[in-house]
Amino acid sequence: MTDKPTAPDLGRLSLNSATCKPYTLAECVAAAKAAGLGAVGPWRDRVQEVGVVTAARIIADAGLRVSSLCRGGFITARDDETAQKALADNRLAIDEAATLGTTELVMVVGGLPAAYELMSMPHTPADGTDKNLVAARQRVADRIGDLVPYAQDKGVRLALEPMHPLFTADRGVLTTLGQSLDIVTDFSPEAVGVVVDTYHVWWDPDLEVSIARAGREGRISSYQICDWTLPLAANTLNSRGFPGDGYIDFPTITQWVAEAGYTGDIEVEIFNEAIWALPAAETVRTMAERYSDLVLPYL
């Protein structure tokens, strides 16, 4: 008689709700629980559909952790009134994170004001002509400073997510981990961290050094995984795949993250219309299999 194979430990695996975008928070939580995952990472739209208190209860009743809340950010506006509205929304996001019981609020800092119209965001004529990348990055640093005292009071860390250079204009003027770490040196590691998202950072020639630095400085807030697939979709944002579908070396990057001392949750965050069309249970099963093969052995 042979022993039954031991089931992989999925306790650190988290379902980011964007991976099952068409599904409600309750459906995402149910799929994660049924598959044996330890956590979920909700997006704010799913939280706000039911209200943050109800969302917190749904997740807690399932016995799951909240690995992070996505997302705050978009704090690059030049116009002061627009900036103040963005700061107010970020304070609301901090409140939501605290109520959900997560210490990590993912910050997609925003692109150039000149792209705000494209993103259907509030903007002024002055914003519409502003392509000053250096100034936009400085405004990120300044507004993180505005938000830090409020976030610390709530026990929430602002987790800056560098974006792939494809998205510099419209979504994220921070493009590398090193750049993100440089911008937060004036803040304590308990106040501001960084997100290691394989989709956005896998190409960086300084990635190993930057991950090690982030670990030494105690700033790794989240490790998010999905693959870089080709050809790119018409909407490049939706070109992500399950780990193993594309070109990212997950064993190597995972080893670097583990060697840097990260012991938190690993979120799968995928934007892909074909994956969104799958039943949630199938999506979670596939991501658990890929995690078990490509990530778990290297943690």
Convert 51-61 to b/e letters by CB count within 10 Å (16 or more is b): ebeebbebbee
- Give the pTM: 0.95
Q: What percent of the chain has pLDDT over 90?
A: 92
Strand arrangement, sheet containing 192-197: 65-66, 39-41, 13-16, 266-268, 220-225, 192-197, 157-160, 104-108, 69-73
| CATH architecture assigned to 13-298 | Alpha-Beta Barrel (3.20)
pLDDT given at position 233: 94
pLDDT of residue 3: 61
Distance CA(100)–CA(29), nearest Å, equals 13
Inter-axis angle of helices 52-61 and 80-100, nearest 10: 30
Residue pLDDT, tens place only, 28-56: 999 999 999 999 999 999 999 999 999 99
Average pLDDT along the chain? 96
User: Furthest-apart CA pair in the chain: how many Å?
Assistant: 75
Give the model confidence (pLDDT) of 164-188 as tens digits: 999 999 999 999 999 999 999 999 9
Beta strands in the chain (DSSP E): 13-16, 39-41, 65-66, 69-73, 104-108, 157-160, 192-197, 220-225, 227-228, 240-241, 266-268
Based on DSSP, count helices (H) and strands (E) in the chain, helices before strands: 12, 11
Query: What pLDDT, on the 0 to 100 scale, is given for residue 43?
Result: 98
Quick one: pLDDT at residue 118?
Answer: 85
Strands 227-228 and 240-241: antiparallel
Q: Looking at residues 229-244, what average pLDDT do you find?
A: 95
Tell me how far apart the alpha carbons of residues 184 and 9 are, in angstroms, rounded to a whole number: 34
Mean pLDDT score, 276-293: 98
- The domain ranges of the chain are 13-298
Q: Give the pLDDT of residue 122.
A: 81
- pLDDT tens digits, residue range 2-27? 566 688 999 999 999 999 999 999 99
pLDDT of residue 126: 74
Own/partner contacts of 22-27, CB < 8 Å, gap of 24 or more, are: 22/276, 22/277, 23/280, 24/49, 24/50, 25/49, 25/50, 25/55, 25/58, 25/59, 26/50, 26/58, 27/280
